[in-house]
Each structure stands twice: as C-alpha cells, then as structure tokens.
Amino acid sequence: MAYNITLIPGDGIGPELTEATKRVLEATGIEFNWDIVDAGVDVIEKYGTPLPEHVIESIRRNKIALKGPITTPVGYGFRSVNVSLRKILDLYACIRPCKSYAGTPTHFNNVDIVVVRENTEDLYAGIEFEKGTREATEIIASIEKLSGAKIRPDSGLSIKPISVTGTQRIVRYAFNYARTNNRRKVTALHKANIMKFSDGLFLSVARDIAKEYPDIEFEDRIIDNMTMQMVKNPAQFDVVACPNLYGDIISDLGAGLVGGLGLAPGANIGDEAALFEPTHGSAPKYKGQNKANPMAQMLSGVMMLHHLNESEAANRLENAIAAVVSEGKRVTYDLLPENKRNQAVGTSQVADAIIEKLG
C-alpha cells in the first residue's frame, strides 16, 4: 500500500532538500503517492495568499505532510506560513530531537535530547498591537485601569497567553512520548519566578500532570539556567517540555550542540494531522546551489516513517544517514571542519551516498 503524503517543497533551499528526501524515502522500499502543493511568497500573485486553501485541504485529506522551509520576509504584510499552518491545523506539539551522530565536528558526542514544544500559544499566538494604533492605546488604558501598571504610550504589545488546556496536552504529550520511547525523564522549562500567571501556570499544571506518570522522573528548570546547563552538561537532559518561545530557542541551541541545523529534524503533531519539517529555515543565500545539508529534512522523513509505524524502514534510513555522517567523505560543508570544507559534496550527492548505504 502506498501512503498519500502532502509534499510542500517550500522555498529557498526547500525544493532541493525535499527532492533529496523524497529520493531517500523512496529508496527504503516504502511507497508514497506525493500530493505536491506550493505555499509561500512565490504563490501570492497566483492565489492572493501565501497559504492557499487547497494546501490546507490536502493536509487535512492526507493527514500527513512533509514540508521544506518557507521564508517569512521581515515586515511583510502576511503572517508566517509556518506558524499559520501549525495554528490552522492545531498542530500543538512540536517535537525536535537533538541527537549526536558520530563524526560530526562538535564539542559533545553524548547528546540525546527531545524538545517537546507547545506550538499554538505563548508569544507566538499572533496577538499583537502596533504602537500608536487605537487598539494599542485602548489596551494600554485598560491595563492601567485594571492593574495600575503604566505602559509608555509609544509601546507595541505582544500578548502571551498560556492556558491550562494547552499546557495539559503538551505536557501529557511529553510524558507519553517519554513512556513510548523508553525515556527516563521530563524536564519542564519556564520563567515562573517572573511571569507568575503564564509560566507559573505552565509549571503548576506540569507538576500536576507529572503525578500521573510515576514511572517517569520529573524536574523543572528556569529557562536562563537551562541554557547554561545545556551548554555545560547536555547529557543530563532527556525529554524537555516547554512553552512555545523557550522551545524555539532551546531547539536551536540543541541543534548547535549536535553539529548544527543541518542535523536537526522536527515534527508538528496534532490530533488530526502531522507535518514533518526541519528546525532550520530556508537559508535563501544557498538557494539553488546544491550546497545545503539535506539531513535535517531527511531525519524529519525518518520521524514521518515512525509516525506511519514503518519503524524498520525508519531505522534503516537513520542508520544510513548516520553511516554517511560517520564516514565523513560525502557530506556537505557544514559537517566538515573549516580546513576541509573544500572537500564538501552537494545536497544531491549526499542523497546518492545515503541511497548506496540503503542498498
């Protein structure tokens, strides 16, 4: 049986990475019917929006999507397609493994952290009020009336909602993930000492949920302390459950610990659909150069195979990727030390090397 998958190539380096990933996924022997649809700034002229309805419909129909990165131009009139997709499809759990592979030029060889990031709330909820607008002025006046706090009239506002409902489901997801994947510990991240009613709520709900999982160890960390401890001793962390913004930052930090964004995959999962995409963005400066590392996109494909319960194929593909990294002969520039970067191969040659390993 072939799986129906929505494929969004994205822009920048996205089309090259998704093409390479499509090839290695097909080389596992699993069959796919790819429903290829486009989103992003390049389709605005044709559809009047960067996220046409038929793209959402395709994901709703197929329930699974593989997506390349999509550029969000700074200061442009449209919201990020990436954030919109997560919100519209209620893909509330963002799973970002940060795992060391032998052969990568890094300071650590023992990192195996899975960041479970809440994907729909927090400062990413998209509730913002521009400086000087009637709405911003009204909210500033209301806040002063209700709390006595003064906000400078020339302020812009971004609202940070964190709910019991949103926190319960993400923390439960983290604990269930830990159980299913034989993990030992969940660490909750917050800044509850300062933001008592948002991060404080996240922490207290996480503590309650932890009681439902006595077999899994639970601890919490204040986010600033966490960044220091992750850099000093990352092996102490296992599954990390966090609100949206901290999750975004920590997953890039984790990617840096294991050799860079070229090895950092991701999944956005909801009750109705799942979308697999790398942690990194569209790196526009490398567009069309056959230069970027496709492994984060491919490892997102590995996560997709696990989601499809094709774990044997997933493990074979991950092992093939790990073997190519460890040999270090046919890898992109980012996996080589500065003095050996002239020996780097391109995106499609990495796919060739992995396909050879798959046999």
Active site residues: 124, 191, 224, 248
Token pair, residue 15, equals: 């089309």
Q: Confirm or reject binding of residue 70 to ligand NAD (CB under 6 A).
A: yes
Q: How far apart are CA 341 and CA 334, in angstroms?
A: 8
Of residues 243-272, those binding ligand NAD (CB under 6 A)? 261-262
Candidates 281, 274, 224, 272; CA nearest to 252 is 281
Tell me which of 71, 84, 100, 167 binds ligand NAD, using CB under 6 A.
71
Residues in the chain: 359
Tell me which of 69, 243, 259, 301 binds ligand NAD, using CB under 6 A.
69
Q: Between the CA of residue 348 and those of 11, 19, 198, 238, 295, what are the distances in Å?
A: 17, 8, 45, 33, 11
For ligand NAD, the closer of residues 43 and 70 by Cβ is 70
For ligand NAD, the closer of residues 243 and 310 by Cβ is 243
DSSP letters for 112-142: EEEEEEE-SSGGGG--EE-TTSHHHHHHHHH
Q: Confirm or reject binding of residue 72 to ligand NAD (CB under 6 A).
A: yes
Q: How far apart are CA 292 and CA 281, in angstroms?
A: 11
Residues 280-319 as x/- pattern, contact with ligand NAD by CB under 6 A: xxxx--x-----xx--x-----------------------
Given a contact cutoff of 8 angstroms between Cβ atoms, the answer to whether 30 and 305 are in contact is yes
Q: Confirm or reject binding of residue 274 to ligand NAD (CB under 6 A).
A: no
Given a contact cutoff of 8 angstroms between Cβ atoms, the answer to whether 95 and 114 are in contact is yes
Query: Minimal distance in Å, beta carbon 295 to ligand NAD?
Result: 8
Size of the site for ligand NAD (CB under 6 A): 17
Query: Minimal distance in Å, beta carbon 69 to ligand NAD?
Result: 3
What residue has token string 């990031």?
Answer: 117
Residues 75-114 as x/- pattern, contact with ligand NAD by CB under 6 A: -------x--------------------------------
Rule CB under 6 A: which residues touch ligand NAD? 69-72, 82, 261-262, 277, 280-283, 286, 292-293, 296, 334
